[in-house]
Amino acid sequence: MGHGQRGEIFISAQSKEFALRAFFHAIGPDRAALIPGWCGNFLLTSAEVRETLPAVERALGFSPQERASAEDQDWLYYGDDEESVLDGPLRMWRHAAKYGLGLCGVSVVIY
């Protein structure tokens, strides 16, 4: 779910136990390999954000058919007022690159 003003933070909470694995499955291994870090965890400097943005845009840029296929996964749920996990990370990457910011991503499983 998105919190705060757009550009400040993106948070997604999923009910599946291993939502990040499901996300990578939904986007496919070729796209998942383009996202830096380890299994959804990364800490990037502003230079690294700018350097990795083209790959992340390729990973999370979808044609209408590709997006429909990714959204067809049963784990991918968000309410009308929540930002999709297919949109939020790319928005944050672009925002950080535009404003010369670093970026942190964390995947947490809570039992």
How confident is residue 12, by pLDDT bands cut at 50, 70 and 90?
low
How confident is residue 4, by pLDDT bands cut at 50, 70 and 90?
very low
Write down the pTM of the prediction. Answer: 0.79
pLDDT, tens digit, 9 for 90 and up, residues 53-99:
999 999 999 899 988 888 776 666 556 677 777 888 898 999 999 99
Q: Whole domain around residue 23: which residue ranges?
A: 19-105
Is residue 69, in this structure, part of any structural domain at all?
Answer: yes
Count: domains in the chain: 1
Is residue 71, in this structure, part of any structural domain at all?
Answer: yes
Is residue 12, in this structure, part of any structural domain at all?
Answer: no
Is residue 40, in this structure, part of any structural domain at all?
Answer: yes
Q: Is the dihedral of CA 24, 30, 35, 38 positive or negative?
A: positive
State how far the Cα of 67 lies from the Cα of 70, in Å rounded to an integer. 5
Mean pLDDT for the chain? 81
Is residue 11, in this structure, part of any structural domain at all?
Answer: no
Is residue 13, in this structure, part of any structural domain at all?
Answer: no
